[in-house]
Structure 1
Amino acid sequence: MVLLLFVDLDPDLAALRPLAGFFVLRTEGASAGSLPTLAQAYAPVAPDMSVNPLIFRVRKVATALRAPEVRVAASITHQGLASRLWSIALGCATLYGAVPDLDARLLRWDADGSAPDDLFLTDVRRLPGDAPALADVVLHGHLVPLAAALRARHNLAPGLLRGNAASALAGARELDRWARRHGRTDVAVRARSLTSELLAHPLLSGAGNLDGTAFRRRSCCLYYRVPGGGVCGDCCFTRPPRSSPRAPSG
């Protein structure tokens, strides 16, 4: 039996720093005050669309990847944000036994930054670290309104977005590999347990199959349509489709 010992969240979320990449969350910074919140990104389109950070980000991704159509960039934007949010939440839940309140009004986003998406949390408030809390924080608090915002502007199928969300969660299990490399059996066990429980959530159930540590989704994120993109490791395709511009999306 593994004994799990957790500590309260620290103001800087310093325990996430060794994980690096998608797991790190900044909690301060003089430049962050001028950045928009994710709540603003999810809001209905304003008359001046240029001020919406989500629209700006999709356009930036489309240009950077030379995407053949905007919906490809929208899907990749969605998966990038989902990966960041799942990684932060899962990292905190396993290392602290709690998660910070990631309310979209508390998270500032540099939509003009590079990948992984640069996020700043303006106030660290402790929430439980169990699967229902993570579902509330990430799925209901972010991925539902994010999907709605993207679907209102781009032709993205619900199954594609559900697959992105599940794939992003499965990808956050890199935490499991980090834990095993560093002898943190407790963290690895909890990461696997939380991921399995979350993939069974009604909003993610059926999006893919988890076999041990391997996940394969039932939809495609459309990355294969980016010049030189190919298929992702968990894609429903084993090779890029030759002709159909409309990949399976659920």
Structure 2
Amino acid sequence: MNQAEKAKAFGALHQKGNPLVLYNIWDAGTAKAVTEAGAKALATGSWSVAAAQGYGDGEKIPMEALIATTRQITAVNDLPLSVDFEGAYSTDPAGAATNVEKLIDAGAIGINFEDQVVGGEGLHAVDKQVARIRAIREMAERRGLAFFINARTDLFLREGDLSKHAGLVEEAIERGKAYAAAGANGFFVPWLIDEGLIEKVCAASPLPVNIMMRPGAPDVKTLAKLGVSRVSYGPGPYRAMMEKLKEAAAAVYAAAG
């Protein structure tokens, strides 16, 4: 498939009740392993890509390094690739679109795009986030690409008290509707794990809903019944692999005396 075909195929994999499962990767090697395990598409996690190169999350990895990683993955793998691009390294709509276009040139067919103020406090105002999404969509349309914008709201992620998540659902739904009208293709609500609340968001969202797996989250089959269209694993795979690596290394050094 060429890039345009990959973008269309990726969008088609988002089916309510039959979610696309994305076991997040961080480089070309993990892309190959996950592909061989049976993946239908690939997605990076920002935390993992940054950590694998010695950086913290929150756009601390230079954008050029992230683009280089994207290019390395797409050069050796034919599956559609979505890149976690955080806040697109720009609060300006035109700047965000320009940066996303660089990812497109590197072979990406989609992004995660979040509404929290990266490196700051709180979330961007809805109208400001809408303007950035619209600019990215218009750029992609000029390229003739069905580029997948997975619009992420961090309302739930920034509220650690799960008992307060119910009070955030209506605001989340309104943000999702605004993002859809601006040209987003998916709605990502990381850290939401309550089954009733997930079902409510899925019922009200005009976009396919993405849930991130975390401790306490329903399993994939349950999420499918709730109406979820996409399930991702975020930094979980990276953390699990690093723990295994450390355990193996510790055993080697212990045996060596």
Question: Quick check: TM above 0.5?
Answer: no
* TM-score, normalization by structure 2: 0.32
* TM-score, normalization by structure 1: 0.33
